[in-house]
A and B are shown apart, each in its own frame.
Chain A
Amino acid sequence: MDEMKAAPAVKLDTLSDVNDLGKPWRYEEDGLTVTRLSPWSAPGCHPTGCGLKVYTDENQKVVRVEGDENHPVTQGRLCVRCITLMDYLYNPSRIIHPMKRDPKDRGNAEKWERCTWEEALDIIQENYDRITKEFGRESCVCFTGTGREGGTFNPYGSVMLGTPNYCYTQSGYACYIPRLAASSYIIGAAYPEIDYACALPERFDDPAYELPECLIMWGKMPLSSNGDGLFGHAVVDMMRRGTRLIMVDPRMNWLASRADIHLRLRAGTDAALAMAMLNVIINEGLYDQQYVDCWCYGFDELKARVNDPEKGMTPAKAAEVCGIPEEKIVAAARMYAQAKPASISWGLAIDQKANGMQAGQCILDLMAITGNIDVPGGNLLGDATTGLNEVGFGFEKGVGDLASKMVGLTEYPAYCNLIMNAHADMMLKAMETGEPYPIKFGMYCGNNLMSCTSAEPKRWHDAILKSLEFCFTIDTFMTPSAQASCDVFLPLAASAERDGTTFTHYGASMGIKGFSQAATRTGEALTDAEACFKIGKRLNPHWWEDYETVDDFINHLRLSKKFDFRDVAKSVYVQDEVLYRKNECGRLRGDGKVGFNTPTGRIELYSTIFQQFDDDPLPYYEEPQYSPAATPELLGEYPFVLTTGARPYAFFHSENRQIPFCRELNPDPIVEINPKTAKKLGIANGQWVELWNQFGSCKQKAKLTETVDEQTIHAQHAWWFPEEEGSEPNLYGNFRSNVNNLVPNFHFGKLGFGAPFKCLLCNVKPIDECLDTDMDLVWNKFKREDQ
């Protein structure tokens, strides 16, 4: 990109003629200062960078928050998590000064003491120097989360701590990265996102754009979460313009109710369905022969595989596996193949199973053989210069030869190589056993693993407490994870308090670059960039010599030193240049040649890279490890299929529980049970129940709904109760309603990816207790001073 021009706004027809279109990044209105920005976190969210107008008074205090109608995609619209931003910034339980606690008092909420940043840095440095001297820098681990800038802030690991062990703590990295890996290895581009005209100046009316006739939402319900940075309601915008839906989801959610075809498959059987759709499209000759001949590698092998009597998948066989009528599978395959253009939005469900890499592989094959890759209204790719913005930043400088010591690299190179992360499960094992070497120094960045990210959270809790001599966090609120295991707490700036960037889709495909300059500051809270700069200069000053100011660091990390942050930030929203069919003009490959960025230069329907990593180069179906088909012997004890983690509007993962207006929308952890199932079990609507399986149990509140079928139970994830006692053993009720108690570690696929968060077995029974949240307590404890 050569310049950073402000993206033009596109007005919604419901917006009044009196509006703020065309206003500069900062302006005055009625005695208030208005700052337009494109925030990322905190509170956490995917990198969508929704437009915000933040109104500050003469004391730089935020007094009003509104959606910014100048944002070309969000157009003023805002979800409840940003509408309540003031309740987040000025929440009485927010932590805005550094704190310290003696490691022997871990788990005791009463023992924190306020300290200065300098004192906190002294403690961190003393521990870092002592521990790395004895155990090496590889004994440090960054526990990373998702959806916060800090959650993917690689320099925390590389140039601040100098460790190869930057580690997302979800088993099998069962979130986004399996899809990213499949895509990088098979197509040679980071992540094909649906084309919702995000980066086109006239959006849906842009002459370059073509509306997809058909959109498959595959294991993805982006409306509430904006998963992977896709503004979820763009799908609704497309539906209103005429796009028709196919929904692949075990749950009858809102989008499914509007779909022409809802493939309500048994949870975890996605690869079987996708293979069957390939089978139909190939055998009925509905694929794009010319595209396949020109751009794909291994079509004959793929054709042979889907027709293989043993490893193949006919619609009839898939119908039996998935529990869907055969004719619906055939109809969906035809609808997708015949629609021009058509697009597939693939979601988290692909990642949350051991067989997910193959499901992803098939979905990519579907996009490819129908000629829907990188065409208007299809699935878009980033060009040769794009990748995830942070991955590998500072690695050569700060990690260097230590990279070979990355935990899990030897066993799962396809995983560790891709995301330059320690393998999550192998990290758990390292902390439990001290093998291959001790892990002694920890940091949480954008992660509350005990409530949210980790499977078997009590196991992670115990491993961390056993292994780490020192641990610190940087966060906005106390979390169960920090309460249990941290010795220093650093205050993190929230959005509106940050100078920062948001790259939609993590920068993986063409979108919008959002820029924010802080509208306000609260207490002593710092941004991730500022904290990393400050701590890095302290711990490893030689790696930070190039940066005199935090801006220098941001200019390098976010803008590759090609632009100055303060200059470009005035544009607030900048659209990437959209170029379709980049494979035709050499824009996908480092060598500038026509084709794709794979070893064969083509889309590899037969994956030479999967083969190199010792996996089958062609797709195959495997049952979830525990399922009605794989383990019928368990059905007596655990008769139901358990799927977890459908996203509510009120929360981003474990966040927002202390925001009264968010909590009010969803006061209790909800488990969805079909009314007929509930009737058999004697469970009433609103009754508390216990869910359990061979790995653990939890208590949630039953919602009787036909959202799930009679065989399936869906439970919300990431529950804790900030209004409760924080000290151990209660730990804000962290383990009481935590559905991850029922999810095992070490159940990933051959390449190390995936975990069965969405395909397990369980049982459920009513209990006598009523554990309903007291909303008066939540309101009185967490409302703002002025409310």
Chain B
Amino acid sequence: MEAQVGLLIDYEYCTGCQSCEVTCKEEHGYPVGKWGIHVLEEGPWEIEDGTGVFNYNYVPVPTDLCDLCADRTGKGREPMCVHHCLANVITYGRIEDLAKKASTKGKQVLWVPQYKPLEAKGEFVATKKNRPAEVAAPVEIESNDAWSTAAHRRSDDDHFELGLVD
């Protein structure tokens, strides 16, 4: 699951237009109810009461269905969310380049998406099944006449068995 590319989002200017969401659905054929990227709304709420200054941000969040438009990026084009973003706030690129760009101003977030992360891990493979067994020395086990229900109080002066098991 090593990743080399991602999306840098300048959420100072994300206006919440949701072009990224919808173009992703069209590009990938995702139905109603599923997204490869989803815009979350945070606010508005007043930062200090009475000042009229509000916190109000939108942040697009890639989901587990974001494949960074592998078909397009494979041909050297940018993902559709980048292409159609009305505020032009999404940049696609190599993570080290994006990280450099991220350091130039505040209110940015760098996403490194993973398409279908469970699938990306691959099927479970038991890797140690040929490991040699650790064999203990043979011991003889005798029957247990002192069996009692393990969950019961076992103090000698106050032990009771319902006697349902022989």
Q: Do A and B come from one complex?
A: yes
Binding site for B on A (CB under 8 A): 12-19, 65-67, 69, 75-80, 83-84, 86-87, 223-224, 232-233, 236-237, 239-240, 252, 254, 256-257, 262, 264, 328, 649-650, 660-662, 664-665, 705-707, 775-776, 778-779, 783, 787
Which residues of B have CB within 8 Å of A650? 18
Q: Is B116 an interface residue (CB 8 A)?
A: no
Please encode chain B, from 4 to 47, with 1 for each CB lying within 8 Å of some chain A CB and 0 for all others.
00000000010111110111011001011100000000011110
Q: Across the interface, name the chain B residue whose C-beta is closest to A80.
A: B22
Q: Is B90 an interface residue (CB 8 A)?
A: yes
Q: Are A661 and B83 in contact (CB under 8 A)?
A: no
Among B26, B76, B87, point to the contact of A661 (Cβ < 8 A).
B26
Which residues of B have CB within 8 Å of A783? 31-32
| Interface-centre pick from B15, B77, B78 (highest chain A CB count, 10 A) | B15
Among A18, A223, A661, point to the contact of B32 (Cβ < 8 A).
A661
Q: Across the interface, name the chain B residue whose C-beta is closest to A30.
A: B75
Binding site for A on B (CB under 8 A): 13, 15-19, 21-23, 25-26, 29, 31-33, 43-46, 52, 54-56, 58, 75-78, 80, 82-88, 90-92
Q: Are A254 and B56 in contact (CB under 8 A)?
A: yes
Q: Are B84 and A252 in contact (CB under 8 A)?
A: no
Q: Are A779 and B32 in contact (CB under 8 A)?
A: yes
Q: Are A76 and B84 in contact (CB under 8 A)?
A: yes
- CB within 8 Å for A775 and B22 given contacts A76-B84, A77-B88, A233-B86: no
Which residues of A have CB within 8 Å of B87? 233, 236
Knowing that A262-B52, A706-B46 touch, tell me 13 more A-B residue pairs with CB under 8 angstroms.
A16-B92, A17-B76, A77-B83, A223-B17, A257-B43, A257-B54, A257-B56, A661-B22, A661-B32, A665-B21, A705-B44, A706-B44, A787-B31
Q: Across the interface, name the chain A residue whose C-beta is closest to B14.
A: A254
Which residues of B have CB within 8 Å of A87? 26
| Interface-centre pick from A19, A77, A236, A254 (highest chain B CB count, 10 A) | A254
| Interface-centre pick from A65, A84, A661, A662 (highest chain B CB count, 10 A) | A661
Which residues of B have CB within 8 Å of A705? 44
| Bound form: Cα–Cα A233–B88 in Å | 9
Among A12, A83, A257, point to the contact of B44 (Cβ < 8 A).
A257
Among B17, B19, B58, B88, point to the contact of A12 (Cβ < 8 A).
B88
Q: Are A79 and B86 in contact (CB under 8 A)?
A: yes
- CB within 8 Å for A77 and B19 given contacts A86-B26, A706-B45: yes
Which residues of B have CB within 8 Å of A660? 32
Q: Are B44 and A78 in contact (CB under 8 A)?
A: no
| Bound form: Cα–Cα A236–B25 in Å | 25
| Bound form: Cα–Cα A77–B83 in Å | 6
| Bound form: Cα–Cα A67–B26 in Å | 13
Among B22, B58, B80, B90, point to the contact of A665 (Cβ < 8 A).
B22
Q: For residue A196, give the distance in angstroms from its CB to the closest CB of chain B.
A: 14
A-B contact pairs, 19 of them (CB 8 A): A14-B78, A14-B90, A15-B83, A65-B26, A67-B84, A77-B85, A78-B84, A80-B17, A233-B88, A236-B13, A236-B86, A252-B54, A252-B56, A257-B44, A661-B22, A661-B32, A783-B31, A783-B32, A787-B29
Q: For residue B33, give the distance in angstroms from its CB to the closest CB of chain A.
A: 7
Among B29, B44, B58, B88, point to the contact of A252 (Cβ < 8 A).
B44
Among B17, B44, B80, point to the contact of A79 (Cβ < 8 A).
B17
- CB within 8 Å for A233 and B15 given contacts A14-B90, A252-B54, A254-B58: yes
Which residues of B have CB within 8 Å of A65? 26
| Bound form: Cα–Cα A783–B56 in Å | 33
Among B46, B56, B78, point to the contact of A15 (Cβ < 8 A).
B78
| Bound form: Cα–Cα A256–B54 in Å | 9
Count the A-B residue pairs with Cβ separation under 8 angstroms: how many? 125
Which residues of B have CB within 8 Å of A75? 88
| Bound form: Cα–Cα A13–B85 in Å | 12
| Bound form: Cα–Cα A656–B92 in Å | 30
Q: For residue A273, give the distance in angstroms from its CB to the closest CB of chain B.
A: 15
| Bound form: Cα–Cα A239–B87 in Å | 11
- CB within 8 Å for A83 and B13 given contacts A18-B75, A257-B43: no
Q: For residue A67, give the distance in angstroms from its CB to the closest CB of chain B.
A: 6
Q: Are B26 and A84 in contact (CB under 8 A)?
A: yes
Q: Are A83 and B84 in contact (CB under 8 A)?
A: yes
Which residues of A have CB within 8 Å of B92? 14, 16
Q: For residue B94, give the distance in angstroms from its CB to the closest CB of chain A.
A: 13
| Bound form: Cα–Cα A256–B52 in Å | 10
Q: Are B77 and A236 in contact (CB under 8 A)?
A: no
Q: Are B78 and A706 in contact (CB under 8 A)?
A: no
| Bound form: Cα–Cα A65–B19 in Å | 13
Q: For residue A326, give the distance in angstroms from its CB to the closest CB of chain B.
A: 14
Q: Across the interface, name the chain B residue whose C-beta is closest to A252.
A: B44
- CB within 8 Å for A776 and B32 given contacts A16-B77, A77-B88, A86-B26: yes
- CB within 8 Å for A66 and B15 given contacts A83-B23, A661-B26: no
| Bound form: Cα–Cα A252–B53 in Å | 10
Q: Across the interface, name the chain A residue whose C-beta is closest to B58.
A: A254
Q: Are B77 and A254 in contact (CB under 8 A)?
A: no
Q: Are A19 and B88 in contact (CB under 8 A)?
A: no
Which residues of A have CB within 8 Å of B45? 706
Q: For residue B123, give the distance in angstroms from its CB to the closest CB of chain A.
A: 30
- CB within 8 Å for A83 and B19 given contacts A14-B88, A14-B90, A236-B13: yes
Which residues of B have CB within 8 Å of A665? 18, 21-22
| Bound form: Cα–Cα A13–B22 in Å | 22
Q: Are A240 and B13 in contact (CB under 8 A)?
A: yes
- CB within 8 Å for A18 and B91 given contacts A77-B85, A79-B19: no
Q: Are B26 and A223 in contact (CB under 8 A)?
A: no
Among A18, A224, A239, A252, point to the contact of B17 (Cβ < 8 A).
A224
Q: For residue B51, give the distance in angstroms from its CB to the closest CB of chain A.
A: 10
Q: Across the interface, name the chain B residue whose C-beta is closest to A233.
A: B86
| Bound form: Cα–Cα A14–B58 in Å | 19
Q: Across the interface, name the chain A residue whose C-beta is closest to B54.
A: A257
Q: Across the interface, name the chain A residue whose C-beta is closest to B76.
A: A18
Q: For residue B101, give the distance in angstroms from its CB to the closest CB of chain A.
A: 10
| Bound form: Cα–Cα A776–B46 in Å | 37
| Bound form: Cα–Cα A328–B51 in Å | 11
Which residues of B have CB within 8 Å of A76? 83-84
Q: Are B32 and A664 in contact (CB under 8 A)?
A: yes
| Bound form: Cα–Cα A240–B86 in Å | 13
Which residues of A have CB within 8 Å of B44? 252, 257, 705-707
Q: Are B15 and A83 in contact (CB under 8 A)?
A: no
Q: Across the interface, name the chain A residue whose C-beta is closest to B43.
A: A257
Q: Are B91 and A14 in contact (CB under 8 A)?
A: yes
Which residues of B have CB within 8 Å of A328? 52
Q: Across the interface, name the chain B residue whose C-beta is closest to A705.
A: B44
Which residues of B have CB within 8 Å of A18? 75-77
